[in-house]
A and B are shown apart, each in its own frame.
Chain A
């Protein structure tokens, strides 16, 4: 089992460019989450999907969109990147029987 995988690992964008961060899990989990982590701010929830077919906003959704493509995959899209979106992005998943979330290795994004 690979657990939670994320691509790419690193990305540099120019202001105004768009990109999609990919996340997949092979644990048959129902819920998936996108966080960003900034120095001194901790992990903050951007969007989540409690189950396949549903998505909801978290604490900091502005500037992002998500797609729950199927049970395994949950993508995060930046339509027009801004320097304030420079951060490390983590995807996580959670099963029905679990309370804990399992995290991927992260994507380090820099917006110039």
Chain B
């Protein structure tokens, strides 16, 4: 059964304090691993797609990496506006686009 586990559930950082969020997954035939950002009261906003182990993608202060068992979202020198819930999801071998989501990590960055 496809499964995604994110850790930690919640993370509090001081502005400028770098850290990483973890997404562990088990899936039969990975078609893609996705990172989304969700602000309170809003829908998830797409950040990255990773397809194969060793792949990395960056956007501003965020960098996502992928291994065969997990993905990390590295946040470098975060700012208060980076505060949000970060969601990880995987798409398995089916071509229907069905995603399995983790429970998310809620990040709070204090000034």
The answer to whether A and B interact is yes
Residue in A closest to B42 when the chains form the complex, CB atoms: A105
| Contacts A42-B102, A48-B98; A103 near B91 (Cβ below 8 A) | no
Interface hits, A19-43 → B, CB 8 Å? 31, 33, 40-43
> Is B43 interfacial (CB-CB < 8 Å)?
yes
Complex alpha-carbon distance, A103 and B38, angstroms: 10
Shortest Cβ distance from residue B64 to the other chain A in the assembled complex, whole angstroms: 13
> Is B104 interfacial (CB-CB < 8 Å)?
yes
Contact B101 A103 (CB under 8 A): no
How many interface residues does B have (CB within 8 Å)?
23
Interface size class of A (residues with CB under 8 A): 20 to 34
**Extra 15 A-B pairs, beta carbons < 8 Å, given A101-B34, A103-B36:** A4-B43, A33-B97, A42-B4, A42-B87, A42-B104, A48-B96, A50-B97, A56-B96, A58-B98, A92-B43, A99-B34, A99-B91, A100-B34, A102-B46, A106-B41
Going nearest first, the 4 A-B pairs with the smallest beta carbon separation are A103-B43, A43-B101, A42-B103, A42-B101
